[in-house]
Amino acid sequence: MSFKHENVETNAGVLLVLTMLAISVGGLVEIAPLFFIKDTTENVEGVRPYTPLESRGRDLYIREGCYTCHSQMIRPFRDEQLRYGHYSLAAESKYDHPFQWGSKRTGPDLARVGGKYSNEWHVQHMIKPTSVVPESVMPNYPWLLSTKLDVSDIGDRMRALRITGVPYSANQEEYDRNVKQFGEPVAKTLHIPNAVQNLVSQAQEGNFDGDRSSVSEMDALVAYLQVLGTMVDFSKIKPEELVKFR
């Protein structure tokens, strides 16, 4: 027996083939069921695609490399739930392409940071984190406030996401389908032909950066941060259920 094992370990070709075989079988057993279990793909009420403004904020989150220090995935452990709130549901990132789960946490998880702070706090924190959290090691991002948001390609960006399965609507039929699925106020924000107009009006109404006269990159990033983790209403869930696991 040990002789045969030695043969495998000293023969690179055989070892390679057998390793690949073992990984393929293991991978299949682990991954294939996920495509068929209802839980992995179940719809959760409230989850919707990002509005054009939030979506641009997400682009900036990726551009600035925020994911190198922040995760967006609350694991189903007691300590994580006590600190961050209800564990992340698969459905909450179903419109994220690519998802921002991450695993590096130099800073805290941001999956439910929406609504935790005011817009003013975020603006101040982005310009100079140490001005609100003196011990912070997060870099300054002052240019977000002084840079006007480029909205010229928002339609193309939404069309690209549409190819990956995000239900942004390009015509009346798709719009009507979204009205049925998400309700009219949300469906309006998902309509590609009106993207620029929707983006600007959300920025003005939300007043994310404290200046309604123009749309800055800060508007988009704060709008994005403020929606994270707020789509599903967890208020109906009792605290003791937060630490109960399946």
**CB-based contacts of 121, cutoff 8 Å, min separation 6:** 132
What is the C-alpha separation between 132 and 161, in angstroms, rounded?
A: 35
**CB-based contacts of 7, cutoff 8 Å, min separation 6:** 14
Q: Read off the tokens for 135.
A: 């011990």
Is 68 an interacting residue with respect to ligand HEC (CB under 6 A)? yes
What is the C-alpha separation between 77 and 202, in angstroms, rounded?
A: 36
Is 141 an interacting residue with respect to ligand HEC (CB under 6 A)? yes
* Least spacing, CB of residue 137 vs ligand HEC, in Å: 5
The only residue of 49, 52, 85, 129 in contact with ligand HEC, by rule CB under 6 A: 129
Is 102 an interacting residue with respect to ligand HEC (CB under 6 A)? no
Is 120 an interacting residue with respect to ligand HEC (CB under 6 A)? no
Q: Read off the tokens for 232.
A: 């599903």
Number of H helices, E strands in the chain: 13, 0
Phi, psi at 191, each rounded to 5°? -85, 115
Neighbours of 202 (CB within 10 A): 19
Is 140 an interacting residue with respect to ligand HEC (CB under 6 A)? no
Is 107 an interacting residue with respect to ligand HEC (CB under 6 A)? yes
CB 168 within 8 A of CB 161: yes
Is 95 an interacting residue with respect to ligand HEC (CB under 6 A)? no
Is 49 an interacting residue with respect to ligand HEC (CB under 6 A)? no
Residue 27 or 139: the one with the smaller Cβ distance to ligand HEC is 139
Query: How many chain residues touch ligand HEC (CB under 6 A)?
Result: 22
Is 66 an interacting residue with respect to ligand HEC (CB under 6 A)? yes
* Least spacing, CB of residue 222 vs ligand HEC, in Å: 9
Segment contacting ligand HEC by CB under 6 A, of 32-40, 95-103, 109-117, 207-215: 109-117
CB 181 within 8 A of CB 48: no
**CB-based contacts of 139, cutoff 8 Å, min separation 6:** 129
Residue 195 or 225: the one with the smaller Cβ distance to ligand HEC is 225
The only residue of 81, 93, 124, 136 in contact with ligand HEC, by rule CB under 6 A: 136
Residues in touch with ligand HEC (CB under 6 A): 61, 64-66, 68-70, 106-108, 110, 113, 116, 129, 133, 136-139, 141, 221, 225
